[in-house]
Structures are given as C-alpha cells and as structure tokens.
Structure 1
Amino acid sequence: MAYDPKDVLRDGNSLLGAARQLLADHDRALAEVQRGLAPLRAEAARGQLASIPVERLKDVTGGRLRVGALEKAGFATVADVLGTTRYRLQLVPGIGPQTAAQVHAAAGSLAEAAERSAGIRVDLERQDDVTTPLVIALHRLVNAGPDVPRARAAAERLAERLGPLTHDARPAGSWWRRLFARPAKRERAEKALTELAQAVEAEGSRDTGLLMSQASVDLLRPAVSADEAWIDFELRASDYQTLLAELASLEPAREAAEGFVPSDLAARVKAQPLDDTYRRVSLRGYQSFGARFALVQQRVIIGDEMGLGKTIQAIAAIAHLRAEGGTHFVVACPASVLINWVREIEARSTIPAHPLHGPGRDDALAKFVADGGIGVTTFATLPMLDVPLDVDVTMFVVDEAHYAKNHETRRAKTVASWCRRVDRVLFLTGTPMENRVEEFRSLVAHLRPEVAKQVSPGEAVLGAQAFRSAVAPVYLRRNQKDVLVELPEVVHVDELEEFSAADGAAYRRAVAAGNFMAMRRAAYAVPKKSAKLDRLLELVEEAEANELKVVVFSYFRDVLAAVEAALGPDAHGPLSGDVPPARRQEVVDEFTAAPGHAVLLAQIQAGGVGLNLQAASVVILCEPQVKPTMETQAVARAHRMGQVRTVQVHRLLTPDSVDERMLKILRTKTRLFDQYARRSDLAEQTPDATDISEQTLARQIVAEEQERLGTS
C-alpha cells in the first residue's frame, strides 16, 4: 500500500465528522429561523381565517356539516370558531359533542393549511418582539457567507458516502481486527479503505474540509443584538428576502416563475443541471429557471421586468459554462452600468472580471485574453474590442439589448457580428418592445433569424397562441408582482396642480409657437412661481419628516436645475448623460450611504437605466414621459428586489394641458406594451392598440392645444 491505513481512517473520520458537524450546525440555524417564522405564520393565518366564512367548513368535510346553527349563534368566520372551545360550541342549540368536535377539527385543518401557505414579509417599520427574532435568526445565515450552500451540499454528499466507507474500512485499520475478521469482511475492508483514501485525497485537493469547517465557525458565531440585525437587514435586504423566500417556501406560482412557456420546453429547462462551483450566490426559483433557460435554448432574450435579477441569472449561466470548461465570456452594456456589472461579477462569482473600457483597456484586454474570465465592455467600445479569433468566447451577453434594435446603427451591426461569432448569446432587457412588435422582432433577428421570420406583426394580431408559439423558443419574461411575493407594494399618486399665472402664460406662449418640448416644461419656466415645484418641495419636506430617501426624475436638465436650486446644496446629482459612468455610480453610492433622508436628482434617460436606487422609497416624476416604458424603468430602479419599504410614486401633472393630452394618447401604447412584452402573452388585440411615434404625438397634441386655446 502507498498509504497508512490508520492515517486514511483518521483523515476519513475527521472529514466525516466535519461534514456531520456542519449539517448539525446548519440544521440548528434553520430551526432557529423556523421558530422565528412560527408566530408570523400563525398571525398571517389568523388574518386569513378571519376573512373565510364559517360556511367553508363544509368544504373540508365534504358537505357533511350543518353550519346554520353556528351562523345563527354569531360564528361568522373560521377564526370565530377557532377562537372558542369545543365546550362552548356544544352550548349552541343544534350542536352536539360529535358535531362540535368535527367543526373544531375542520377549522383546525383550515388553520394548518393557512399557516403553510401564509405569505411572510419582513416589514422594516415593524421592529417588534414578533418579527425581530426572525431577523436575528436570518442574520446568522446571511452573514455566514455565500459559500454555506456549497459547503452544505458537500457535507451532505460526504456524509452519505464516507459513512459506509469508514464503517466498512475499520477492520483494515488494525492488525487484530484484520486477524479476527472473516475473509469476506477483510476483502470488503480493503476495498473500502482504497475508496476512502481516494476520496480523502480528492476532497483534500478541493479544500473541502476547510470549506466545511469555516462554514461551521460562521454558523456558530454569537447572535447579534436586535439593532445590529435590523441595520444589517436594511443594508442587505435583498439577501435577507432571498433567504426568507427559500426557507419560508414563498415560491410564486409555477407558471408565472416559468414565464408561461409551453410545458414541454419548461420540462427540458428544469432537467438542465446548474453547476454552482464558480457561483457565490443562492438563486431564487425563477432565477434558476432563467439561467437554465439560457443554457438549454442557447440564444435567447431574458426580458424580466426591472429588479428581478437578470444580471445574476446571466452570471449563473456563465458560472455553469465555466464549470464545464468555458474560459472566456464577454458582456456588452451601456457605460452607465459597466461598474455595476464588474461589482456584481466579483460579488456573485469567483470568475475574474475585466473592465474592457477606458484608459487601461489595452492592458485589461491582454490580461483577459491570456487568463480568461468575463470581459465587460460598453457598446461604444465593442466595435474596437480586438479579441483574437482563436480565443473561444463561450457566451456573449448583451445588457439593455433593446439599444441594438435598429439594425442600421453601428452598435447593432457590431452586436450582430458578435452574435455570429459566438454560439451562446444572451440578451437582457426589461423593454424588449418599446413601441411596436416590429422592434421586438428585430431583436430576435440577431439571435434566431428563422424565429424572427415567424414573428410578423400581422401574425401577432391573430391572437395569444400564435404569438406565444412563435416566441417561446427565444423569449422569457416574468413580472415583479408574479414572482417577488415579498416585494412591498408600489403606490402611484397623480398630483394635479393647476398652472400659476406665470406657468399659464409660459404655456400659452409655447403653444402659440408650436413648441412641444417647451409646453412639457412650461410649469417650471418661472421656478419662483411654479405650482408644480411648490408641490414637489412639499413632498420632499414630508419625506424628510419621515426620514425617507427621494429620487426626482425629469426628462429636462433645466427642470432639474430649477429643482436643485430650490432644494439647495444638499441634493445629490443631478445624474445626466454627460456625467461619466464612474461618477454616476459614486453619486448613487453617496446617496445610498447618506444617513436618513436624502434627495437624488436624475435625468430619467440616465437614472432610469442600469442603476440600483432601492435606497429610495419616494419617486417624484416632474412630468409624464413620451415613452411609458421610461417611467416604468425609472420606478423599477427603486421598486426592485431588496426594497423593504412601500414605494410611493408621485407624478406631477397639470390638468387641461399637454400632460393630460399625453396620458390619454399614451394609454394605448401602455396597453400594447403590456399585451406583448409584459405578460409574454397577447390577451387580446383591439383595433385601436396601434403605435404612435413621438413626432406624431407632438403634432397631434400641439394642434389640439392650439385649437383649444385659439392660438392656431
């Protein structure tokens, strides 16, 4: 033998002990979370049962119960029944001991079902004795680090494998056991010892023992104080909510999580393995499905709504391909999100990220070519990115892919060239069709020309099934409300403010001149007399009183300048197209890190794309936007996974003006977007659901307002 049997047994038992210890430590941490969940489940169940009429008890018993006597006695709901005793039920005329027992048992059965299905959401505003123990318990698991799931999986595998091997190999560990063992047992011991030695050597090369021991140490740290747990929850809410969704089984409906793709395709996707060796983050069920969808279909669009973690899904797919031997990956994105991509790759994976942009681009490219990893570049740099053809790029990812919808632009032509070069391509976009189905079709043409030919606008009008069958192989979309079951609600409020005299005069001049853009911002033409600006300041003051962060969006720089002058030097920003991407991220970081209340100003074109603004729970839109998707994107930057507060969206509008005219016309565009892109489905197609261009919109509104005001 090339190894000492005693050493092999010692090392094998040590590894087995570390695996079992980790499983026990992790189980204790999980049990602590479940104890924290129990009172919240019971509370949620009681609220649900209070809305269920007592008549529904008949459904539990197949209609055998007569509940009329209970209703006459004042028992209106199932909660009323659970709130009393069997003896009290027996005092109801017409209810005997047997019926009382059946009624109570049926109510208990409904209570158990309600607790199992109760949705649990941690509310930052409710830091009481019921919720706090759960947050403290979650803190232990969240702060144990991203390697715990991998360590747990290794421990389960080793416990299952090494337990029998160490048991069977024991006779080979000493001369007297070998002497008294039967021949068959000695032979089995030698075989087990050989397998055990191989397993110990293999796990040693992977540092599995160190991985499990470190995870156990992290799980055994003392519980933190309530204040520390809540502060950490607010800073890392996304991690807490992801873990809570997993442990509380807060899974969305299967069809919604799978984007309503056909069942045969869904089955193939779910059968696809997803290796997590190079991944350092747990995935939600719908995220895992999205990554697998990209792997199975190879050339696809993930069009999930903003805030659902499209970046993480792309990283998960890349990590799997890296585990299969892929070495080089390229991500193309707007400059505004390049830094965010690099950060996410570094935080969520063990694959090196190379920012291929800016002054150090050449050196970074050389290192990327030599060492491999994920090269992250911008649309502007992509045409100049000289990656040698002998470098096998395993996957090409395009973020905000709708920017490549116009095939005549240099950007789109470069993206198309890379799509031809790389077998696996993943487009990420929350707005695959901004104005018309034809734009969605143009994106598909980059990936699967044969599918794009099937998705003609005429065919789409035929109905839901024709559209879905045409795009299913290449398109996956899920919505926040369908899959983020713990996401706080978003409250939309239209703030109607009449023109002041100065506003009205500026508006009439703009209408007379036929200046659509001047009409849109006339309400801020004289800031000191602006009714909209006064209301904006009131909203900011209210947010300050509640220590809430605010983000203010406008299309116009001069409007933001007026807001900035009114707010003073404490406002962050404004973010605009001419602010370098690195500085944009710095401004957002400063805004996020500011204690308590803060205000961030952003041009909606710059701040509504690619930036994470979940620190803000109040969103103010200075004026309605020509593209409904622009507003949707902007709001989704705050109302996204990890948000812990209800998001208030205030849109400032002036009645009997361009604002109301725009909203009336744009409802058609919003409905068209919803039907095709948002639901991955065409519920119905009405004759008036047609596109209208920005120029047509402007001409129509100007003409209507000139006629109304008599200035034509």
Structure 2
Amino acid sequence: LVDHRMSGILADDMGLGKTVQSLSLLAFLADSRDQQGPHLVVAPLSTLQNWVDEIIQWVPSFRYLVYRGSERNLSAAEKAIMSPDQNTNINLVLTTYETVASRFTFLGHYPWYCVVVDEGHRIKNFQARSSQAVRRLPCQHRLLLTGTPIQNSLRELWSLLSFVAPGAFNSLENFEQWFALPPPPSVRLGAQEAEEAEMSQLLSEEEELLIIQRLHKVLRPFLLRRTKEQVLTDLPPKTEAVIWVPLSSWQKVLYRKGLRTIQRVAGPAKSSSGGVSANAMSGMALRKAVNHPYHYLSKKAASGRPVEELIRASGKLEFLDRLVKLGHKILIFAQMRTSLDFLQRLLEHQGLNFSRIDGSTPSTKRAEAISNFRRDASITVMLLTTKAGGLGLNLQAADTVILFDSDWNPQSDLQACDRAHRIGQTRPVLAVRLMTPTAMDRGLLERSTRKLQMEKKIIRAGHFSDSSAEMSKSLLMQLVKEARQTSKAGSGQRASSLAEMNRLMARSDEETDTFTQLDRGLLGEANDAGTTEEPESGSSSNKSCMYHVPVVYPNRGR
C-alpha cells in the first residue's frame, strides 16, 4: 500500500498484535525509506499507555510524545513537534479522538506522513465531531486498526472505507446501489411492522453469494484480516459459556413491577415506534432489576446494608461469591459503575486484592491498575466497565472473563473477552456471560446473536439500531407478552442447576470437589434458615436456584 501511495485497514482479530505491526511498519519506513515522520497515532485514552509500552519495548529509538492534557502541556508539546532541531525531532505523536477535535487548529494543519487510527470503528459515525476531525487530518498515508470492522451494519464498513479511500468511497448511496442493498425496512414499512420484516428478510443463496463476491472484490485492495485460528495455532482455546442465574425474591418483585409498568405504557393504543422510545427508561429499570436490587437504593442506603444481604439479594453476586474463591485471575466487566461498587464490596468481604478501572479512573491510575494486576499474583480480580476497559488493554494475566451484564452491541462484549484471549496467553481462557431467565435477557441475547450472524455473512445493512438506550420493538413485545402470560419472572427459560454451573466452571476434578463442598455447606445454611424462594415454573423442586436464604427488602407490598 505504501509503494502505491494508498491507505488501508488492518482488521486482524482482537489480540493479534495490531499495535506492534503498526510500529513495525513505521520502523520499516524509518530504516528502509529514511522516512522519520512525524507520524500521528489517534487512539482511545484507555489504550495510550499500551502504545507507550509497546514503543519502549519494540522501537526504543523512536522519539515520541503524548499530546493531551492541560493547555500548558499541549503548548509545550506543540513547540517540541515544531522544533527545527534535527536532533530532537519527534517521530511519533500519540493523541486521543477528543484531542484531535479540540486541537484541530494545530493537528489539522501539520504535515503528518502517516496517520494511524487505533480502534478505528470509533469513526463509524460519519457525523460525529471527532470522526470528521480525524478524516480531515492532512497526511500521505492512513492506517486504520480495528478488530471489528462491522458492528451493526454494512454502512459502517462504508464509513471506514471512505476514510482510507475517500476518492473511491465518497458516496454511501452509490455504495449501497452497487451492493443492491434494500433500504432499511423503516423506510418501506410502518414502524410497527419494520422490525418484524427485518427478522424475516433473508436473501436467497444466489443473492448472498453475489453480494459476498462483490464485497470481497472491493475489500481486497484495502483490508487485511487474519483470525486467531489462522495465525495462532498454539494459542490456548477460549471456552464460552452462558450461565442462567436465578433471580432472588427481591429481584422478582422488582422485575414483576417493571413488567406491569411496561404493560401499562405499551398498550395496543401505544404500539407505535414512539412507544418504544417511551419505554426506554422501563427497559433500563428491568436491566437494573436483573442485575441487583440495590440499584434502586441510594448510595448511602445501599452501603449501610449488611454485605450478606448484598450477596444474597442478587443471583449474579451469589454466583460470583462462589467463583472468586478458586483463585483464578478474573476480569469482571459490567455496564454500570454502581454494579462495580457492589462487586467491590463482595471482594472486600472476601478479603481479596483487586484492581479497578471505570470511566472516572484517571489515565495515570489506569496504567497503575493494569500494571499491578499483571505483576502482582495476589491481585486475583480486576473490575472494569465495558466501555472503559473493553478496548485495547492487554490483560493476558487473566484466564477467566465474566460478563456481569451484556452490552447492546455484542462486539463490545467480544472486545472485553479478548482482553485475556490474545497473544501472550499461555492458559485456556473461560469467558462466562451471566444471564437471568427473563424475557429481558433472552431478548438481548437473541438480538446480539443476530448481529454477530450479520457480521459473519456481511449481506444485510442498516437493520439494527445502534442505540443502547432503546429497546427494539420485538423485545418490547416479548416483555409485554411475558407480563400478560405469567406473574412469575423468568418463565420460559429455567435457571442453570448447580450441577450445570459446576460443570461449566470447574477446570479440574479438584475444583469440582471444591464447588460441591461449597454447595453442601451453603445449602445447609439455607435449610437451617428456612427457604422463602419459590421453585421455577415447571420445576418440582428448587434445584435450579442457588442458595435460598431469605433477605430483607423494603417496600415489598408497594
């Protein structure tokens, strides 16, 4: 591509070393072409330290600086970049998407040789300010790095191609016509019918083959993608499992209340697309209920309640209470910081050392947390929010990844799991997704599966909303149906039994024995305390549940 003065997309699987490959290219340009730069790397804030670490390890002769921070730091960096002194010339400048947008007056008028865009799917929204700023950076070559070139639609792929080859891909309309893609169903149908049409609209095998052939022909000059199966034949396997954890009594009360609210709001007269938007908050309330009832309490009230109740009030925490005792290095991802607060109390109660990264963690503390987790064997758990910790981090020290709750975008969850399953991993990795037997979680999982199937086939475009705050029409209807059919949260999908959980989680006979002993001890406590839990629908016993120790919760009668 460099020889032909072209740009491209490096779309290797997550964990195959795209950062190192990019630095290798820049080192080759310096050594073989006497092209010293300056080059610009645009990356998410969470990955900047990883770039610094890789530069120090692989190209220590490169002079680099990080361009972000206070006005004073930025001004000093600009003077260093503009310095005419050949002995202090900067080879590589590292910055963030946000800084490109806010300091475009400088960055947009400097003659960069190569612009490397890390986690390039961040520019998929063509209208976003940071995306437009990155596209306008002057340079001779562009290299876009992404392990997920398609997340929701083929239109996103066009957005990336228009960055590396703006002359060839300057029109989305022409791109869609070339692939003979149908317009989004919402354009052709009423909003009420749109999503049902999306689910049933499948191309024939001949049409599918034709579009894939066209797509490959377009991508071949611009995109290089290799999978772990192709490249890392000696990489230990990654096992993925879905654990269906039961709801506690408190969670069931809150979930049923949420279903009744949705049933009221989403009646027949309010079944338009506006009804879906009106229920966005109800959907979030259901997600909070299936994660932990403490989401409904103030921070002060939640912190004042006993930790034993904290654990037993949530099926997910009760499950993790067993898992963290085994001593594996574990990454736990959650969507909300408050969920991490609950998990942190659990770990403190267990006396376990842990690290934590969320959206409020300063960059210096992020680097410290990552370093501590990698090097300190006594730190067995790292807590992360999916948005803050799911991109670009190398955490091969972990051999277990827990998705406490799932993202609406399944690629975000895959990114999170591959923080551990990547080059340098020497042990098999277990990735566990915690779900509850509710229409809310079932619908989310089905929706994610459809998106991943679309990405694999690359034959349909624009058929999925990219908004994490909205419930799809079909999911809303599932919830209304669940509310009408039963007063029991979780019907239609039973919780995993203790035996099933143990089989999925145990790595050895010794761990199986450990789980069995924990089960016997805690079930004994439950029997001593007396159980108030009801068996799941269709079950003659409560073997599907974990430990039915009653908890005290407020406002049950409301």
Q: 2:288 maps to what in 1?
A: 521
Could you state the TM-score of these two structures normalised by the residue count of structure 2? 0.68
Alignment-mate amino acid for residue 539 of structure 1: L
RMSD (CA atoms): 2.4
Q: 2:553 maps to what in 1?
A: none
Contact 2:16 2:228 in 1 (8 A): yes
Output one character per residue of 1:478-533: Cα deviation in whole Å (capped at 9) or x when no partner: 11122111110001121111212111112122233341122123131153321111
C-alpha separation in 2, matches of 1:354 and 1:478: 31
Q: 1:260 maps to what in 2?
A: none
- Please give the residue correspondences for 1:286-685 in structure 2 after superposition, counting only pairs within 5 Å: 298-323=6-31, 324-327=33-36, 328-349=38-59, 350-359=61-70, 360-370=73-83, 371-383=89-101, 384=103, 387=106, 392-418=111-137, 421-452=138-169, 453=171, 455-456=175-176, 458-459=179-180, 462-514=210-262, 515-523=282-290, 524-526=292-294, 527=310, 528-542=312-326, 544=327, 548-568=328-348, 570-596=352-378, 598-676=380-458, 685=459
Alignment-mate amino acid for residue 316 of structure 2: K
- Please give the residue correspondences for 1:173-192 in structure 2 after superposition, counting only pairs within 5 Å: none
C-alpha separation in 1, matches of 2:466 and 2:46: 27
Could you state the TM-score of these two structures normalised by the residue count of structure 1? 0.54
Gaps of 5+ in 2: 84-88, 182-207, 263-281, 295-309, 487-558
SS at match of 1:396: strand
C-alpha separation in 2, matches of 1:340 and 1:447: 24
Q: Return the offset for 1:686.
A: 7.7
* Identical positions, percent: 27
C-alpha separation in 1, matches of 2:456 and 2:353: 35
- Please give the residue correspondences for 1:103-118 in structure 2 after superposition, counting only pairs within 5 Å: none
Q: Return the offset for 1:451.
A: 3.4
Change (3 A) 1:483 1:605: same
C-alpha separation in 2, matches of 1:326 and 1:392: 13
Q: Return the offset for 1:343.
A: 1.9
Contact 1:330 1:374 in 2 (8 A): yes
SS at match of 1:538: helix
C-alpha separation in 2, matches of 1:340 and 1:529: 38
Q: Return the offset for 1:364.
A: 2.4
Alignment-mate amino acid for residue 6 of structure 2: Q
Larger Rg: 1
Alignment-mate amino acid for residue 655 of structure 1: P
Change (3 A) 1:342 1:407: same
C-alpha separation in 2, matches of 1:686 and 1:391: 39
C-alpha separation in 1, matches of 2:92 and 2:402: 37
C-alpha separation in 1, matches of 2:219 and 2:113: 24
C-alpha separation in 2, matches of 1:394 and 1:651: 43
Q: Return the offset for 1:337.
A: 1.2
- Whose helix proportion is higher, 1 or 2? 1
C-alpha separation in 1, matches of 2:57 and 2:379: 28
C-alpha separation in 2, matches of 1:390 and 1:704: 53
Output one character per residue of 1:342-386: Cα deviation in whole Å (capped at 9) or x when no partner: 221122112111111113222223223321310111111113155
Q: 1:182 maps to what in 2?
A: none
C-alpha separation in 2, matches of 1:389 and 1:673: 33
- Please give the residue correspondences for 1:51-70 in structure 2 after superposition, counting only pairs within 5 Å: none
C-alpha separation in 2, matches of 1:706 and 1:430: 37
SS at match of 1:307: coil
Alignment-mate amino acid for residue 708 of structure 1: E
Change (3 A) 1:529 1:316: same
Output one character per residue of 1:68-109: Cα deviation in whole Å (capped at 9) or x when no partner: xxxxxxxxxxxxxxxxxxxxxxxxxxxxxxxxxxxxxxxxxx
Contact 2:64 2:90 in 1 (8 A): no
Contact 2:283 2:471 in 1 (8 A): no
SS at match of 2:342: helix
Contact 2:39 2:92 in 1 (8 A): yes
- Please give the residue correspondences for 1:120-139 in structure 2 after superposition, counting only pairs within 5 Å: none
SS at match of 1:381: helix
Q: Return the offset for 1:620.
A: 0.7
C-alpha separation in 1, matches of 2:96 and 2:287: 32
Q: 1:269 maps to what in 2?
A: none
Output one character per residue of 1:665-692: Cα deviation in whole Å (capped at 9) or x when no partner: 321111011223xxxxxxxx489x9434
Q: Return the offset for 1:582.
A: 2.3
Alignment-mate amino acid for residue 66 of structure 2: P
C-alpha separation in 2, matches of 1:338 and 1:595: 25
C-alpha separation in 2, matches of 1:652 and 1:660: 11
Change (3 A) 1:671 1:704: same
Change (3 A) 1:673 1:697: farther
